[in-house]
Amino acid sequence: MTIRIVGLIGFACLALFGQPSAASSPEAPQWPGAGSLSKSLEGQYVFVTPERDALMIRVPPNSDYARSGKPGIIRYDLHNRLRPAVAVRLSVTQKVNYVYEYAVDNATPASDSIGTWSLVIPSVDGEKPVMSCGEWCGGLSFAPIIRQVEMPDQPKGRAVMWTRPNGISPIGPSESRRGFRIESSCRPGFTTALFSSGIWVNIDQDLPNEVFKQLEFFNDPTWGNIPVLTFGPMFCAGSSRQAIAGNLISGIKRLLETKRLDPKSEFVRDVLAWLISEPENNPGEAAHVGHSPSGELEAEIAKALELNLSFKIP
């Protein structure tokens, strides 16, 4: 039996089917408008809107579906017009476990609400982080199924997810929610958070096979979600200083690229220069930088450096 369902897949499906960490086919081209479909696109049936907020389906004109009198052009809204931001507070328990407490915001310009979000963490045997389970609850996948969207050079991982149950409000535009918590033996590193409305994209299962073949890219579990770089439990027992430095370099460069960090920051400049200079040189010595962090994000970076590489911040 052929399974034809395509859409934004929930946690249970991710854990069960082990979705690949990359799309199985190239992404669909941009929708040019019904009046601008050229002969070069004659065999193309799936498109993405320029705003990346909807799929546009052009039904094959000679198909039974078209002859049945159903619409020839179908729009499927992705409900992904989110503006997520996430902040994390890092601390250590007396049992030397690391605690990650997250606050999630959905900025005012958003048009959709956040109904579920997940965090990419390493797939390590025997390591099972303890997550909070308040109004929003979820679970943990085990196979390494999701790529680090924000840091493509880093290994793919598994997902820990929170989702709102029926009757509990999502995070609407200009709203925030706190209380998301993970306790783990793994130290903090940069990772990808993925945010979604949690609304199923209900694609008509009677559409022709040619359409579903071109929809394969949409099975990628990271497609259609909004990624944000943050900190999470990344460095478990046995992680090398080189791997830690590589993760931190990749994350800082991404934050500079997205302008979340100021390239003129002396703290960022000093930290990045030290990490690139190869921390394996003096693994037993604490590193020093000459400038203090400025702002919440730089403070998070400083805390991660302190917990991982014995950084001393003035």
Find out whether 190 and 157 touch, Cβ atoms under 8 Å. no
Predicted TM-score of the model (pTM): 0.84
27 contacts: CB under 8 Å, gap ≥ 6: 48, 217, 223
Average pLDDT for 252-257: 94
Q: What mean pLDDT value characterizes the chain?
A: 84
pLDDT over threshold 90, residue 34: no
Cα–Cα nearest to 64, from 202, 203, 201, 210:
210
CB 136 within 8 A of CB 163: yes
**Those residues with Cβ within 8 angstroms of residue 107's Cβ, 6 or more apart along the chain or in another chain:** 83, 84, 85, 173, 174
Instruction: Take residue 80 and report the two structure tokens written for it.
Output: 């992904």
Amino acid identity, residue 304?
Answer: A
pLDDT digit string, tens, across residues 165-196: 888 899 999 999 998 999 999 999 999 999 99
Query: Tens digit of pLDDT for each residue in 198-239?
Result: 998 999 999 999 999 999 888 776 677 899 999 999 999 888
d(CA 85, CA 107): 8
Q: Which of 62-71, 88-97, 221-230 has the highest mean pLDDT?
A: 62-71
Strand order in the sheet with 98-106: 84-92, 98-106, 175-184, 130-131
pLDDT at 3 over 50: no
How crowded is the C-beta side of 217, counted as CA atoms within 13 Å? Answer: 13
Q: List the domain boundaries for the chain.
A: 11-80+199-219, 240-314
Query: Where would I find the H helices in the chain?
Result: 11-17, 64-67, 209-214, 241-257, 266-276, 295-309
Average pLDDT estimate for 73-94: 92
The arithmetic mean of pLDDT across residues 14-24, rounded, is 38
pLDDT band at 1 (very low <50, low <70, confident <90, very high): very low
Q: What is the Cα–Cα distance from 160 to 139, expressed in whole angstroms?
A: 6
User: Quick check: 8 and 202 in contact, CB under 8 A?
Assistant: no
